[in-house]
Amino acid sequence: MKNLLKKNRVFQRLAALVIVFYTLSIPVWSQAPAGEAAAVKSFYDQALRDSRCYAWLEHLCYQVGHRLSGSVGAERAVAYTKSMLDTLGLDSVWLQPVMVPRWERGAAERVEIKAHKLKLDALALGGSVAGDVRAEVVEVLSWEQLESLGERQLRGKIVFYNRPMDPTRIRTFEAYGGAVDQRVHGASRAAKYGAVGVLVRSMGLRADDYPHTGTLRYDSAYTLIPAAAISTNSADRLSQLLKTEKKVVADLQLHCASYPDVLSYNVIGEIRGSEKPNDMILVGGHLDSWDVGHGAHDDGAGCVQSMEVLRIFRQMNYRPRHTIRCVLFMNEENGLRGGQEYANEANRKGEFHLLAIESDAGGFTPRGFGFDGDPAIADKFFASVEAHRELFEPYGLTLSKGGGGADISPLKSQKGLLSGYIPDSQRYFDYHHTAADTFDTVNRRELELGAASMAVLVYLADKFGL
């Protein structure tokens, strides 16, 4: 009996030590009081009852319009968004200078197969040189095929890249990533073998007549040749014609021009932290857009959602522990100058970004957030929120590893946490980089739910830390 009692006492002591150790090892979020569910709901209530983001987006789309870096539209967007941030009673609002590229599309593009009276819907790729080319078209479905054709079969030809986005990918950004390399690098890789022009199948899953522009990158080792995207319907028509005709000749005419860099700005507003003012929680999107459509989903939606996060905090009279900063980056589409300049300046000032959230995937229904960053911080974060997933579940939000955003990527060296807001992506590439990316394609409630979701993540990160 004595031995049994002694064993019980030993067991009790060990159990007590385990409990103490476990308690000390629980990350701070797991100590959040049960009442946080009500606090989370209050953010959604505020966003859904009294939002400004939809009205801001309407003005940005209809009164400002598309906003390519270096354009008059970009200048107007900077002025408008700063004026709106000035109305929110923030602690600071300012413009951060950044030099950006200036490229103009010029007169309407033309891609035509005259022999068959076939006019293809086309847009010059961003950064393309001008050109007036008449040449035979050669279809290419892979880099391996391009190399096998070589100079003997490609010199003096127009290369037609027709590798589609993979429709079996449920995550459409994965499908985009599997095809976009031909748009970005296709011109120079074709020029290597003597091609005189490039046509690229648009980066979209829907069969339609909207060509998708987007940036290309020239390799200075090769001749700069004109490059244009053609709509998915036009790509299918051209591909079918190439199957029935031995020789198809196209006329490709672009009127693009690049000019010296011009001065532009990142637009920044913040609520200063009461305890850790040099530790930042950032929300942001990119203010520039391509020069077709309104840039509503890409990325007007992300900008107004980020602005709305700060407005919600002000309306709720919440004073954050950390500084909460909204950054509207300039020049994501064709240079990433705004993101790079912002990170350089933050490092110079010794500012640490505990968490940076970017919304740049459209204004659709919220699905969650993806996270990337220093493994120690990322692992701690996931261990912390695991016990509190019930705060996100009523709003249909999931948390996953892997994420971030182009504009916040230069902050990765600070070893904080980067997060990408994830809305439903199934329709995003119907509009991405096209004239169809207009205000009327954005649903007000979906936009507001996204802003509320971002505000909740900021709130929890600020209150309980990472």
Structure tokens at 287: 């203010």
Tell me how far the alpha carbon of residue 52 is from its chain's centroid.
Answer: 22
Place of tokens 């589609």: 164
- Longest pairwise C-alpha distance within the chain: 103
HSE, CB side, 13 Å, CA atoms: give it for residue 310.
Answer: 31
State how far the Cα of 142 lies from the Cα of 40, in Å rounded to an integer: 48
Cis peptide before 299 (omega within 30 of 0): yes
Structure tokens at 447: 């936009």
Query: 227 and 197 in contact (C-beta within 8 Å)?
Result: yes
Which string of DSSP letters, residue by residue, matches 191-226? HTTT--EEEEE-S-SS-SS-----B----TTS----
The H or E element that residue 447 is part of is helix 444-464
Is the sign of the CA dihedral 140, 228, 334, 360 positive or negative? negative
In the annotation, is 36 catalytic?
no
Q: What is the CA radius of gyration of the chain?
A: 26
State how far the Cα of 58 lies from the Cα of 65, in Å rounded to an integer: 10
Query: Which of 58, 139, 332, 448 does the annotation list as catalytic?
Result: 332
Structure tokens at 419: 């997060």
Query: 100 and 127 in contact (C-beta within 8 Å)?
Result: no
3-state SS, residue 235: helix
State how far the Cα of 336 lies from the Cα of 341, in Å rounded to an integer: 9
Give catalytic residue positions: 332
